[in-house]
């Protein structure tokens, strides 16, 4: 099976990134409305 292809979900991608911020703050941003819009686009 090629890298990124899963049996049940199809293709998946990921981009690891290290940022100079505490994990809690990063989690807050990623789950906030602004963070979701940054990753997925505006609703």
Task: Write out pLDDT tens, residues 13-37.
Answer: 878 889 999 999 999 998 999 999 9
Cβ(37)–Cβ(43) below 8 Å? yes
Assigned token pair, 5: 């292809």
- The phi and psi torsions of 10 (rounded to 5 degrees) equal 85, -140
User: 10 pairs with which residues across the strands?
Assistant: 6
pTM, two decimals, is 0.52
């Amino acid at each position: 099976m090629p890298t990124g292809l899963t049996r049940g979900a199809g293709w998946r991608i990921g981009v690891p990134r290290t940022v100079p911020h505490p994990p809690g703050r990063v989690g807050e941003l990623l789950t906030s409305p602004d963070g979701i819009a940054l990753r997925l686009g505006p609703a």
